[in-house]
Amino acid sequence: TTVMHTLLVPEKSQDQQGVFYQDVIRGLSAKNKFLEAKYFYDAEGDRLFQQIMQLQEYYPTACEMEILQGQSAAICKTILDSTTHFDVVELGAGDATKSIHLLRELLKGKTDFTYYPVDISGNVIAQLERSLPQQLPGLRVQGMHGEYFEMLREVSILSGRNKVVLCLGGNIGNFTPTEARQFCRQLRNYLQPGDLVIIGFDLKKHPQVILNAYNDRSGVTKEFNLNLLRRINRELGGNFDTSKFDHYATYDPGTGACKSYLVSLEVQQVKVGNKLFEFGLHETMYMEISQKYSIEETDCLATQSGFGPLADFYDSRSWFADCVWHC
């Protein structure tokens, strides 16, 4: 297994770096330059996102925590009214600090279920498998390290029960509405009648509140965006000078799209690997969408992707919703 390990691991990581490289080249070659937000999360990006979640201006984490701390009993009842023979799958489990409240409640219900946290980070999964059984004695944890849909397929083989799929944190906001519909349809295809999903959505609210959350005064969100340029420098042999880029966030209350850009502060050339890219003065690079929804729009998304809305849980300000849908 040592040989397998040393042979296979570098090969895999090289291949993943290959995909990263190709995605970056494609984004920088486009007429309107862009980079993909999924690449924000290297170790430094994880650390910066942790910092974002502690910002005064960044409300979604606190909102969803309030929902799960305060209403897990009600969410649990909604689940138990719908199915008693289920396992729980969490897509993008992270450190499970939110879902732990729901898991505790489900354990109290004396239902015998397995918790399958899915994450693309192997570290995250190893950590959860160690810490969760200590925090919640009696919880059966089976970590799944890999891509969401591949892992969902594996869970369907392992579990002969209904699935309760958690997709918390508002991560669905990183999809455009069209992509979100595709994602939900694909999710629905992996599920069966009797299964449930619980998806966290950041809701439309005063536009200034939203803009401030992605344009914090201390500049952590700017660093979070610039870190992707540094990551390209580190991993792909780039030479971005991050002092020559500004961060620009916009929110359109009409569409609910909150978008981030980096703006080139001068005419410059940037090298990535052996390729050169020209930036004009004030040319922008599109970095991320954080889509905001009304509850009518989440209902519509459910229906359009083959789910039925069952119950919605809000924080006290109705800034965020955890939506329970059935298949």
Closer residue to ligand AVJ in complex, CB, 182/192: 182
Closer residue to ligand AVJ in complex, CB, 27/60: 60
Smallest separation (angstroms) from ligand AVJ to the CB of 61 = 8
Whole-number Cα distances in Å, 94 to 81, 120, 159, 175, 263: 28, 9, 22, 19, 31
Please list every residue from 288 through 317 that binds ligand AVJ, using CB under 6 A: 288, 290
Smallest separation (angstroms) from ligand AVJ to the CB of 211 = 12
Structure tokens at 296: 């009518």
Q: Are 167 and 305 in contact (CB under 8 A)?
A: no
Closer residue to ligand AVJ in complex, CB, 200/238: 200
Instruction: Measure the CA–CA gap between 144 and 190, rounded to whole angstroms.
Output: 16
Please list every residue from 141 through 180 that binds ligand AVJ, using CB under 6 A: 169-171, 173-174
Question: How many of the chain's residues bind ligand AVJ (CB under 6 A)?
Answer: 12
Q: Is position 94 an interface residue for ligand AVJ (rule: CB under 6 A)?
A: no
**Closest CB to ligand AVJ: residue number:** 290
Q: Which of 86, 145, 135, 95 is nearest to 115 (CA)?
A: 86
Whole-number Cα distances in Å, 147 to 4, 30, 83, 144, 151: 21, 27, 26, 9, 6
Please list every residue from 187 through 216 that binds ligand AVJ, using CB under 6 A: 214
Smallest separation (angstroms) from ligand AVJ to the CB of 24 = 19
Closer residue to ligand AVJ in complex, CB, 164/228: 228
Smallest separation (angstroms) from ligand AVJ to the CB of 214 = 5
Instruction: Measure the CA–CA gap between 143 and 235, rounded to whole angstroms.
Output: 28
Q: Are 260 and 249 in contact (CB under 8 A)?
A: yes
Count Cβ atoms within 10 A of the Cβ of residue 109 and give its class: 0-12 exposed, 13-18 middle, 19 or more buried: middle
Interface contacts to ligand AVJ, rule CB under 6 A:
52, 60, 169-171, 173-174, 214, 221, 224, 288, 290
